[in-house]
A and B are shown apart, each in its own frame.
Chain A
């Protein structure tokens, strides 16, 4: 059974490497029961989106909409 602390590591690492099947299963089980870690997961996803968008904004990679 994973702890929340373990889960934060897996949720970060899944952005950098493919998790193993057993890692994914234990992660999903934990997330199904823990709102805090589910929020953490969404936050990680948002960080990546924000970083991409930041780069696009500053480098003029996106069409100027605003």
Chain B
């Protein structure tokens, strides 16, 4: 009763858990979702037929399970509600600008040089993950649905029952938060010119 070519099941499970808990921000729910995805993969293993790598296939099942969980979730939580963390992030954002809404000299976004080089460094990914975890929960959920599960913004709004303008506000908050976190922890001060 095993999946074909399952050479590293514990490793696969670990990666799935990491991905699911980052997205769902709830370890128990992530466990359940991974369990469900694994069972679904076992049930459907005759469909697998080696069209893609096993891991890719199992992850596509996992993504669907995550989306289902998010849908159910949003019946009980209000994704657009502002937690203190979201408010703090918005307040920090406001401090980046002068009264005329242009950057203060200290807050002006810096030149990251050749950031793509970081993508080859193992350590960068640890920082990236830490920055994602650092985002407020609901902000992160919306952002990850958009960027990691690659939903259209319209779909994100529909699934999470939020207005399109609110969706834009949340995504902007997430991107700016993530950008600031990476600038502070990885890309350093860089050059500031304007």
Total interface residues in chain A, CB < 8 Å: 36
Given A48-B147, A57-B125, does the pair A12, B193 have CB atoms closer than 8 Å?
A: no
Residues on B with C-beta less than 8 A from A32 are: none
Q: Is B171 a contact partner of A16 (Cβ separation < 8 A)?
A: yes
Scan residues 29-66 of chain A and give those whose CB is less than 8 A from a CB of chain B. Answer: 34-37, 39-40, 42-44, 46-55, 57-61, 66
Q: Is B179 a contact partner of A4 (Cβ separation < 8 A)?
A: no
Does residue A13 face the partner (Cβ distance < 8 Å to B)? yes
Interface size classification for chain B: 35 or more
Distance, CA A15 to CA B151, complexed state (A): 12
For chain B, what secondary structure do more than half of its interface residues adopt (helix, strand, loop), or is it mixed? helix
A11 to chain B, nearest CB (A): 9
**8 other A-B residue contacts (CB within 8 Å) besides A16-B171, A39-B112, A43-B109:** A8-B176, A16-B167, A36-B103, A36-B192, A43-B182, A48-B147, A49-B116, A50-B128
Question: Which 8 A/B pairs are nearest by Cβ-Cβ distance?
Answer: A3-B101, A60-B55, A59-B59, A36-B108, A51-B147, A12-B172, A39-B109, A5-B101
